[in-house]
Amino acid sequence: MEFLSQPWPWYVAGPLIAFIMFSLLLSGKRFGLSSNLRSMCAIMGAGKHCEFFDFNWKAQNWNLVFALGLIIGGAIASQWMSAGSVNLSKETVEELTGMGITNPGKQLIPEELFSWNNLLTIKGLIFVVLGGFLVGFGARYAGGCTSGHGISGLSDLQIPSLIAVIGFFLGGLTITYLLLPYILNI
Amino acid sequence: MKFIKFLIFGILFGITLTKAEVISWYRIYEMFRFQSFHMYGILGSAVVLGMIIIQIIKRRKLRSVDGTPITIAPKERGISRYILGGFIFGLGWALTGACPGPLFILVGNGVSVFIVTIAAATLGTYTYGRIKHKLPH
């Protein structure tokens, strides 16, 4: 039980992710979470006026069930298996503290950026709302997210997925190296 | 009932990403600053094992449980959509500290404000669908 309550090392998590991808393939499905966002648009009726959402989303129902599992899995882990804090590198903690984040790593996420109380502040809107919008827009534009391109696509040695992953990093590094110090100062 | 196994896979994935701290905004920041091996170890080992698994599937011509051959459709060719879409996704990933899977897992972890992020991501996907034809692909 000791193991379950400790944070899991990379060599446990990585193989488990590959195992889940393999299980989905054996079940005749493809690993890709961002498809659910498209399904949700279709379920809400977007297919009536937009061709892109006029597809057989019911064939993707299994994936919505998978997403429901994610919520339940997150709840189980946080209730019974969680330490609650994040074991960050010293460098990261110092850097974020320097940028005004209080106690980096003490919780899963920085509450000053992600909470209902701060949602309607400029920072809240940038991190919670704009960030989410870009995730959904970019994933569909690129035709996949971390699971579809990063894990499945790269595993299948697909060049488009490699290009997409390079794009993911160019975007991510733009935030952490160029923009974040300014955004956190707003 | 035929969906129960997908629920179980999802639960396992949700527990894994929570326990490995992949759903932490801090971990994503740390990754995009190259300050820890943790995230690279996770993604790297998943991809290396995934490559081996897919090679085995292809060489042994494995079939899925319903008897159909397992094939992974090649992504359509192109550069613009992958680099531009990927870039936009990366901006969002570093801001929210979460890609689509962790968005759901964080809600399960009780960080309910991520419901708003999921709604915003859905709106982003919708917006893409509406202006798709105007974008370079």
Domain assignment of residue A93, yes or no: no
The partner residue sitting opposite B50, judged by closest CB among A4, A21, A109, is A21
Contact A89 B21 (CB under 8 A): no
pLDDT tens digits along A46-71? 999 999 999 999 999 999 999 999 99
B56–A contact, CB cutoff 8 A: no
- Helix, strand or coil for residue B85? helix
Its pTM stands at: 0.97
The mean per-residue pLDDT over the stretch B44-71 comes to 94
> What local confidence, expressed as pLDDT, does residue B2 receive?
82
Domain assignment of residue A101, yes or no: no
C-alpha to C-alpha distance for A154 and B46, rounded to whole angstroms: 10
Residues of A whose CB is below 8 A from B113: 114-116, 119, 128
pLDDT tens digits along B68-99? 999 888 899 999 999 999 999 999 999 999 99
> What local confidence, expressed as pLDDT, does residue A83 receive?
67
| In chain A, residues 40-59 whose CB comes closer than 8 Å to chain B | 40-41, 46, 50, 52-53
Confidence at B1, pLDDT banded by 50, 70, 90: low
Q: Are residues A57 and A120 both part of a single domain?
A: no
> What local confidence, expressed as pLDDT, does residue B32 receive?
98
Q: Are residues A11 and A78 both part of a single domain?
A: yes
The mean per-residue pLDDT over the stretch A148-167 comes to 97
> What local confidence, expressed as pLDDT, does residue A2 receive?
67
A84–B contact, CB cutoff 8 A: no
Residue of B nearest to A141 (CA): B85
Domain assignment of residue A100, yes or no: no
Mean pLDDT computed over every residue of chain B: 96
Whether pLDDT at B124 is above 80:
yes
> What local confidence, expressed as pLDDT, does residue B93 receive?
98
Q: Are residues A78 and A129 both part of a single domain?
A: no
Whether pLDDT at A121 is above 70:
yes
Residues 6+ apart with CB under 8 A from B93: A135, A146, A168, A171, A172, B28, B99
Question: From residue A88, how far is each of A9, A103, A105, B90 by CA, in Å?
Answer: 13, 11, 6, 21
Reduced DSSP (H G I as helix, E B as strand, rest coil) percent helix, strand, coil of chain B, to 5: 70, 0, 30
Domain assignment of residue A98, yes or no: no
Whether pLDDT at A72 is above 70:
yes
The mean per-residue pLDDT over the stretch A113-125 comes to 96
Mean pLDDT computed over every residue of chain A: 95
- Helix, strand or coil for residue B69? strand
| pLDDT over 70, % of chain A | 98
Q: Are residues A78 and A120 both part of a single domain?
A: no
Note down the domain range covering A30: 1-82
Residues of A whose CB is below 8 A from B31: 172
The partner residue sitting opposite B93, judged by closest CB among A81, A135, A144, is A135
Q: Are residues A140 and A78 both part of a single domain?
A: no
A122–B contact, CB cutoff 8 A: no
The mean per-residue pLDDT over the stretch A141-159 comes to 96
Comparing CA positions, the residue from B18, B27, B113 lying closest to residue A96 is B27
B64–A contact, CB cutoff 8 A: yes
C-alpha to C-alpha distance for A45 and A150, rounded to whole angstroms: 30
Per the structure, how many domains does chain A have? 2
> What local confidence, expressed as pLDDT, does residue B73 receive?
85
Q: Are residues A120 and A179 both part of a single domain?
A: yes
Q: At what angle do helices A61-80 and A35-43 cross, to 10 degrees?
A: 120
Q: Among A31, A61, A82, identify where a domain stops.
A: A82
The mean per-residue pLDDT over the stretch A33-57 comes to 97
Domain assignment of residue A87, yes or no: no
Q: Are residues A127 and A168 both part of a single domain?
A: yes
Q: Are residues A7 and A75 both part of a single domain?
A: yes
Q: Are residues A70 and A128 both part of a single domain?
A: no
B131–A contact, CB cutoff 8 A: no
Domain assignment of residue A125, yes or no: yes
| In chain A, residues 140-179 whose CB comes closer than 8 Å to chain B | 140-147, 149-158, 160-161, 163-177
Contact B70 A25 (CB under 8 A): yes
pLDDT tens digits along A12-21? 999 999 999 9
Domain assignment of residue A69, yes or no: yes
Confidence at B126, pLDDT banded by 50, 70, 90: very high
Q: Among A82, A101, A134, identify where a domain stops.
A: A82
Q: Are residues A77 and A129 both part of a single domain?
A: no
Q: Are residues A1 and A73 both part of a single domain?
A: yes
A1–B contact, CB cutoff 8 A: no
Q: Among A41, A61, A82, identify where a domain stops.
A: A82
The mean per-residue pLDDT over the stretch B15-32 comes to 97
Domain assignment of residue A95, yes or no: no
A17–B contact, CB cutoff 8 A: yes
Q: Are residues A4 and A77 both part of a single domain?
A: yes
